[in-house]
Structure 1
Amino acid sequence: MYEGNKDYEKFLRDRITKLRIEKNLSERQLSFELWHCEGYINKITSGYTLPSIKEFVYICEYFGLTPKEFFDEEMEYPILMQKAIKELNGLDESSILLIIGFINKLKNK
């Protein structure tokens, strides 16, 4: 195994932890939500094991993310971003442009 895999494994563990905390779930609760034994998520986040591709897709679906969004390092709060995008979908163009202007002002502070 080449060393680059270690970075992705750590990112996967850290991202699951961050998403779990963002949803205010314990490792045990998330394990049960994914229909696994209570230590399933702990085994992943502690580096003992990795989820299969199928299980990884289930984890993404649980958090409402695509695999691409899951691995997007620039998206710091993916669950909140998905929620914001869903809210924007119901707005007209002028409202969206107004919000974008507001976001730009916030970023320039």
Structure 2
Amino acid sequence: MVDYASYIRNRITELRIQKDVSEYRMSLDLGQNRNYIQGITSGKALPSMAQFLNICEYFGITPMQFFDQGALHSQRHSNALTSTEALESHDMQLMQRLFERLQQK
């Protein structure tokens, strides 16, 4: 059986670290008391459904992406491709060389 409560706590911590934001700052950004996120990540509480949706919005992901890390990586790839569409030809060539160099490492 999947322990969804642990998954939610761990996933919030993972996303928070990726965003480089403290539990305190995230709590305040969500309009909650300063210990709100710490209470979730320590296992003392879980977010309500409305607050879970706010947390997803805070991280700029959908609930599906919250539970499917592969979808999040796909979204990052999609965002990267969209960003390259606006590049001029010369810049695109530079990006291509950079990718090739990174792949050699």
Q: What TM-score range do you get, normalising by the shorter chain?
A: 0.7 to 0.9
Alpha-carbon deviation of 1:74? 3.9
Runs of 4+ deviating beyond 3 Å: 80-84
Q: Which has the higher helix share?
A: 2
Q: 2:64 maps to which residue?
A: 68
Q: 2:82 maps to which residue?
A: 89
SS at match of 1:89: helix
Is residue 22 from structure 1 mapped to residue 12 from structure 2 by the alignment?
Answer: no
Deviations along 1:21-43, one digit per CA (max 9) or x if unpaired, are 11111110110111100000001
Structure 1 residues 87 and 74: CA distance shift in structure 2, 3 A? closer
Count matched residues.
Answer: 94
Structure 2: runs of 5+ lacking an equivalent: 87-91
Alpha-carbon deviation of 1:88? 1.3
- Largest Rg, 1 or 2: 2
Q: 1:50 maps to which residue?
A: 46
CA RMSD, aligned part only? 2.9
**Residue identity (%):** 43
- TM-score, normalised via structure 1 length: 0.70
